[in-house]
Structure 1
């Protein structure tokens, strides 16, 4: 005979027997006071049943896998045996293990078995509701959420709104109806009222949202999310003072730093000065909070007060807190003040964190712009030695800096070295293909792009790049059309691909079709190169006025764009453009 014993650190320890119901409470008789001669009655024995012989090996395997930290093997074994055993404890622990392993499908499978064995379990229903909501199945989650609410435990109803705006209208309506029905059953449930208010706000039904919030405040006057939602609702309705309720609460509860922080964040999009005041209050309450100091530094930088911003950033360094962010923004401020050497010193002190790559890109740009070519090369080489895990990204940044600075040969040399170290790097192969195109080495460009496509046939960027280059630099237009068409199927709204499609159709003589794609591309992304293409097609089709206006707008944005200027020169329309109002200003720029 065998029995399962559950422990806190090990989800299920296999010993000798299995109980039929590990959740069953055991009644212990009361013992009379001051009667030492009376011994307590023994507890009734736990019902026992044998483990099926076919399950013994798998359960032992799972237990030893758990002990050596091989949780995947343990979970697979429990998932296989749990339905056979039909034991609540095993089903519960299998669910916990699957959740710990962050395997949502297996978690849902295990919790469904748990519910079949223990349908009234609050924990099982709550777990099922959370898992289903996370998988955007709110209608299936709602009945489980209702079980939780009926047990006097606060159900997390707002969780049901994950991905709500992506649901079909019929499912949205069904979910709203279900929530309204529960609202009649639980009229004072704050989480349910909050959920209903959120739905009203989603549908821009602001008076109804406010009504739900008003009712919620009678139950929980300090509910943070409700106060913040109310402020957003009032902002949407363009009320004169949308934050008055939050201010009233903070006046009565000035110590509520969490609400004040959310209020300050909300103010950053509407009133940066008021936001700064709130962050200053928070910082005074917690003077060593580096997060608040950083927020104050960024707000003052946004306001143009770099002196105060620097003071807050220096205070962070003095506290030895969030040093990387402090050095990064001190570097940015130094750049703005044309103190390039100071900026470089700050960037060089940034460690391997979120700011590392951005800092290296800016540092490299300073060195290139100041003519320190060798110093730039040496810096990136030293960084690759210091942080080998960042090498691929550092190769890419260095090559891009060199290419942008006109050092195409050096850029290609860096990329050759990078691809030698990382032969399957799509980023490096793509970067080298672009440099090769600029060097008129179309053979290498095509080989690199086709290498990417051999490993990743659905890479829309590579498909488009190869198709566009074949359109622009060769007469292989049919092949180009096939490549661009595949890219457009993968990413039908990408302006660069729409531009390529319009351009290849134009090269094939399909002028009317090309206009449709180029107009869509230009509307989504009015880039000078797209303007050059659209203007040329309009010009060739005889609509000189529209072509001229497209080119004029592009010149005003970028009067020196090489593709645009070469197009105008090739078509001989530069003189014509200079006679239009506004182009003189563009030419002067």
Structure 2
């Protein structure tokens, strides 16, 4: 059963006492204002107000009474939407502050924001001297982004002798730079108006912190600590201000003392644990373990501790924490993702895949699919991958194009280019105008040696976007393979370089086409520039080859050696060496170096 809400619903009533008890429940909250008279088709018995009510309180019309009675019964049966609809309607109709109050409470409990805002505004209009009404209006207006009006109601609550969540309002203000600038003076005014109110002072300090006025903010925080030593928000804000000023060690020392003094204050321990993550993971882990002990059902704390243990390779300790999240139905996708990772490390392929498949769309979704499908591919279960991707496309048709691309990429990675091409053919039947699919199809065709299909695909994309430097460079570089089209290749690459002159990949292409045209000096110039901007084994392969052909073989070997250090698994450098093998013993020179 959901937790109780403010102004609890009346208890279920027996049929013998239903009418009298319902009157007590309803009119006890609502009889402060007389309802307007209504003419009914025929005389109806009027409910009598309870004896404890004021003598001048008049009962609701019978239609209103029965509507509210239905709302009460619906509430007891957990049909809260029915209860809200009835109370909201009658609040608007009767203009009764008690009905408006109850409508507000129910709407807020259900997170029905529009209804909560309108009910709260009606309630505060009908009962402006009621602190709770002012605070309800403050909260709902803040959630609706109407911070200026929310501040006005907060001030009224303070004037009435109540408290007001000014720190929460300040937090909302600093989240928007324009609102922050607009309301800074108002928070300063409230702090000056209520000089003994620690909440108002800390809200002002929060605004000053957002303005990077750290000394002024710290001064206010210290004053609040003197006036209200019980307000732990003050030292907590001080730690944030210290960190802002790169005084992290002071912040840690302050938090260590605070945690020692107030061991049950989770907010202090959480801030301490967060700061420790960057300095001492073991100590941070201890703090999060204590937080989990204090708040055993808090999924955020459990996940934080689990992630630290995962990152420190304490997998046997991390695993039960992730499993606890599954039982609590909190952070389900994250738990499944990391349990999949643990199972993968434990060589439990079936367990890993089961967890990866349970990850829902979100931050780890694509990574989970990638890992799971790679596991299946490595295990030789390509059919399972087809089924998985087909299922994903059925479950998420709006992302079908993306899943086609993922599946094709996986197939290409495992050298199943023909299957990838057939898949992309199918995908293009459904998504004919997809630029990503057309490009993937072109690249896959190139893997199969079909240069014409590759060129056709890129030409189609260039028709749509003729000034796309990536496409121009890709096509130009491909054409360098054909001695009869080198001039055309140079024109395409030159256009790409004009559009993006600092791109090392395009600079490398220009160097390579100059080499293919026989312009070795220009080639070296471009390739050196590309290598300086982006140390890369493919660029090293090109530069080394040109230097070798120029006769600068010692430097060529050095460049190749550097390329192999960057990527020991490089295939392009050995390929370049193979082409030049008969012209100078390239492999021997490299191995001797």
Q: TM-score range by the shorter chain?
A: 0.5 to 0.7
Asked if the contact 2:188–2:204 (Cα under 8 Å) also holds between the matched residues in 1, the reply is no
* Pair 1:190-2:205 in alignment: yes
Bigger mean CA offset, 487-496 vs 414-423: 487-496
* Pair 1:479-2:488 in alignment: yes
1:411 aligned to 402, 420, 425, which one? 420
Could you give the per-residue CA deviations for residues 342-361 of structure 1, whole angstroms, max 9, x where no partner exists?
21121222234433322221
Alignment of 1:343-354 (within 5 A): 343-354=352-363
Match of 2:346 in 1: 337
Match of 1:461 in 2: 470
In structure 2, relative to structure 1, the CA distance for the partners of 1:560 and 1:448 (3 Å cut) is same
Could you give the per-residue CA deviations for residues 390-410 of structure 1, whole angstroms, max 9, x where no partner exists?
211111111111111011100
Match of 1:266 in 2: 275
SS of residue matched to 1:243: helix
Match of 1:574 in 2: 587
Asked if the contact 1:495–1:521 (Cα under 8 Å) also holds between the matched residues in 2, the reply is yes
1:307 aligned to 291, 316, 335, which one? 316
In structure 2, relative to structure 1, the CA distance for the partners of 1:145 and 1:344 (3 Å cut) is closer
Asked if the contact 1:232–1:242 (Cα under 8 Å) also holds between the matched residues in 2, the reply is no
2:461 aligned to 452, 456, 462, which one? 452
CA distance in 2, matches of 1:246, 1:456: 57
- Please report how far the alpha carbon of residue 229 of structure 1 lies from its aligned counterpart in structure 2 after TM superposition: 4.7
TM-score, with normalisation over the residues of structure 1?
A: 0.61
Match of 2:52 in 1: none
Could you give the per-residue CA deviations for residues 353-378 of structure 1, whole angstroms, max 9, x where no partner exists?
43332222112111111112222223
In structure 2, relative to structure 1, the CA distance for the partners of 1:244 and 1:421 (3 Å cut) is same
Could you give the per-residue CA deviations for residues 263-295 of structure 1, whole angstroms, max 9, x where no partner exists?
433332332212212221222222112222222
Asked if the contact 2:504–2:531 (Cα under 8 Å) also holds between the matched residues in 1, the reply is yes
Alignment of 1:145-164 (within 5 A): 147-148=185-186, 151-152=189-190
* Pair 1:326-2:332 in alignment: no
**What is the RMSD computed on CA atoms of the aligned residues?**
3.8
Match of 1:278 in 2: 287
2:437 aligned to 413, 428, 435, which one? 428
Match of 1:15 in 2: none
* Pair 1:390-2:399 in alignment: yes
Match of 1:227 in 2: 239
- Please report how far the alpha carbon of residue 467 of structure 1 lies from its aligned counterpart in structure 2 after TM superposition: 2.4
Match of 1:402 in 2: 411
- Please report how far the alpha carbon of residue 197 of structure 1 lies from its aligned counterpart in structure 2 after TM superposition: 4.4
Runs of 5+ in structure 2 lacking a partner?
A: 1-55, 57-140, 147-168, 193-200, 226-232
SS of residue matched to 1:554: helix
Could you give the per-residue CA deviations for residues 422-449 of structure 1, whole angstroms, max 9, x where no partner exists?
1122221221121111112112112222
SS of residue matched to 1:338: coil
Moved over 6 A (4+): 130-134
In structure 2, relative to structure 1, the CA distance for the partners of 1:247 and 1:520 (3 Å cut) is farther
In structure 2, relative to structure 1, the CA distance for the partners of 1:482 and 1:252 (3 Å cut) is farther
In structure 2, relative to structure 1, the CA distance for the partners of 1:195 and 1:540 (3 Å cut) is farther
* Pair 1:503-2:512 in alignment: yes
Asked if the contact 1:434–1:445 (Cα under 8 Å) also holds between the matched residues in 2, the reply is yes
CA distance in 2, matches of 1:372, 1:557: 33
Match of 2:253 in 1: 244
- Please report how far the alpha carbon of residue 148 of structure 1 lies from its aligned counterpart in structure 2 after TM superposition: 3.8
Asked if the contact 2:504–2:533 (Cα under 8 Å) also holds between the matched residues in 1, the reply is yes
In structure 2, relative to structure 1, the CA distance for the partners of 1:216 and 1:150 (3 Å cut) is closer
In structure 2, relative to structure 1, the CA distance for the partners of 1:132 and 1:281 (3 Å cut) is closer
Could you give the per-residue CA deviations for residues 144-194 of structure 1, whole angstroms, max 9, x where no partner exists?
56654664379xxxxxxxxxxxxxxxxxxxxxxxxxxxxxxx9x9524652
Bigger mean CA offset, 569-578 vs 554-563: 554-563
Could you give the per-residue CA deviations for residues 97-125 of structure 1, whole angstroms, max 9, x where no partner exists?
9x98x9xxxx9xxxxxxxxxxxxxxxxxx
Runs of 5+ in structure 1 lacking a partner?
A: 1-35, 37-96, 108-126, 155-185, 199-208, 581-589
- Please report how far the alpha carbon of residue 566 of structure 1 lies from its aligned counterpart in structure 2 after TM superposition: 0.5
Match of 1:215 in 2: 219
Asked if the contact 1:532–1:551 (Cα under 8 Å) also holds between the matched residues in 2, the reply is yes
CA distance in 2, matches of 1:189, 1:349: 46
Could you give the per-residue CA deviations for residues 526-573 of structure 1, whole angstroms, max 9, x where no partner exists?
332122122223333443333222211322343442211101111221
Asked if the contact 1:430–1:462 (Cα under 8 Å) also holds between the matched residues in 2, the reply is no
SS of residue matched to 1:270: coil
